[in-house]
Amino acid sequence: MLAPDLDSAVARLQDMVGEARVVLPFTGAGISTECGIPDFRSPGGIWTKNRPIPFDEFLASQEARNESWRRRFAMGDEFGQAQPGRGHHALASLYRAGKVPAVVTQNIDNLHQASGIAPDHVVELHGNTTYALCLDCEQRYDLSWVRSRMAAGNGCAPDCPTCGGFIKTATISFGQAMPDAAMRRAQDLTLSCDLFLAIGSSLVVWPAAGFPLMAKRNGARLIIVNREPTDVDDIADLVVREDIGTVFAPFVNCASSTDVHRV
């Protein structure tokens, strides 16, 4: 059901969250756009300006690794000071209230953790861009270390001093295997919820886009909050095409599960 207007959308969302036992938020790039982080696919998005570097190209080419890191630092200079928005804070409030056991996200920006959700309760399907890993030995590196080594090496991306492996942001690139543990945990959370809340995702990237379908088939109610239509809208119990921060503003600072029913 498509909400006819903002007031109806907020009222129905509040009712459905209040009635639910376990709410599982599933977030995409749209929840972070009000924080100043552009999405990837929309006109003017990141991928319209720079072709993504596939994983096999990253592995095969030093030039591709150099360019990947150059883009990462340029993006950090532009968006690195982003802070959580109203949507992030609303989900953190529901988390503290006991309605939300964890958040499953396609985002790599670390803003759910910054909003107050424990890192162990943020399931990152596409990784995290705020640190780096060696692809071979999984040694973790601060981005500042990588940047300083690149500066000293005339822009050449460093290899791992421990094993010689390639160092990459802890994100999942095109062609790179999805993280097994995160996918399994997302599936378990999906099957345990009775309200699945898809927020700011185009729901076109598989296999992550399969979780709303899985929840619905398992008997959960499905809410989709996204500015643009998705391929899953026709099976949703509620579709909201309004500004995400405005829709979720009433949930910010709800302090207890009792408050959740009153917002």
- Nearest to 208, CA basis, from 187, 229, 231, 239: 187
- Distance (Å, rounded) from C-alpha 171 to C-alpha 124? 9
- Distance (Å, rounded) from C-alpha 43 to C-alpha 149? 35
Instruction: Exactly one of 88, 89, 112, 126 is catalytic; name it.
Output: 126
Contact 226, 39 (CB under 8 A): no
Token pair recorded at residue 205: 């990237």
Token pair recorded at residue 170: 């802890």
With tokens 């190209």, the residue in question is 57
Q: Please report, as a single letter, which amino acid is at residue 227.
A: R
Q: Please report, as a single letter, which amino acid is at residue 147.
A: R
126 is catalytic: yes
Catalytic residues: 126
